[in-house]
Chains A and B, each alone.
Chain A
Amino acid sequence: AQSVAQPEDQVNVAEGNPLTVKCTYSVSGNPYLFWYVQYPNRGLQFLLKYITGDNLVKGSYGFEAEFNKSQTSFHLKKPSALVSDSALYFCAVRPPRGNNRLAFGKGNQVVVIP
C-alpha cells in the first residue's frame, strides 16, 4: 500500500527566507504526487502535482516541488516565504493504476515569522 512521510511536525521560517517542506513516499510503480495547503477552518486546497515529465513542478502562490525518484522524495519549496504562507501542508501519493485513493501524510504546520 502507498504511504507518505512528512518527518517534521512544524517548520519555522523567517519571512523572506526560503521555505522547504519535506515529503518522502512509498508506492508501487511510478507515483502520482500532490501537495495541498489547509488554512484554519478551511478545506484542503490543491497546490501542485507531479504525474510525469519535468521533475520540477510549479504550482500556485509561487510554490514549486521537485520530484526525486532515487530518493523517493517530493519536497515543497518557495524561494521567499510570506507570513500568509503560514498554514498546514499535506503531501499525498497514489499509484498510477487502480483506484484513485490518495494516501496523505500527517501534515506539516508552517509558521512564517514576520
Chain B
Amino acid sequence: EADIYQTPRYLVIGTGKKITLECSQTMGHDKMYWYQQDPGMELHLIHYSYGVNSTEKGDLSSESTVSRIRTEHFPLTLESARPSHTSQYLCASSELTGSYEQYFGPGTRLTVT
C-alpha cells in the first residue's frame, strides 16, 4: 500500500453543506490529483497540482476547489454540496519525473442527500 491517506472514508451530508475532503501523502511527491469515479466505474480527473501553490482544473468540470499550501496536503472543498456531487473521490500522487505511476489513496465515498 502506498502512503497516501484520505479522510473521511465515507460521508453522508445534506444539501447545501460545505465539505472538505482531505488528502495527504508522505512520499514527498510533487504532483497530486483528484479523480471523481462514477458508480459505473469510470475515472475522471477533476483537479491536479504540480507542487505548492500550483492548481489546475482537470478534464471534467467540477464545482469543487482545491488548494496546495503544503507539498503533502491537497484538500478538496465543495462550498455547497448537492445530490449531483454524490460520487467516489480518489486522490493520487506521483513524482515530478521518473517512474510516472500514480499512487492512489483509498477514496472518499460522498453521498449528498
Chain B's interface: helix, strand, loop or mixed, by majority?
loop
Q: Distance (Å) between the CB of A55 and the closest chain B CB? A: 18
> How many A-B residue pairs lie within 8 Å, measured between CB atoms?
55
Contact between chains at B43 and A43 (CB < 8 Å): no
Chain A hits for B42, CB < 8 A: 104, 106-107
Q: Distance (Å) between the CB of B8 and the closest chain A CB? A: 13
User: Which A residues lie at the B interface, using CB under 8 A?
Assistant: 32, 34, 36, 41-46, 49, 51, 88, 90, 94, 100-102, 104, 106-107, 109
Complex A-B: 20 CB contacts under 8 Å: A32-B100, A36-B104, A41-B107, A41-B109, A42-B106, A43-B92, A44-B92, A46-B103, A49-B99, A49-B101, A51-B100, A90-B43, A100-B94, A101-B45, A101-B48, A101-B58, A102-B45, A106-B40, A106-B41, A107-B42
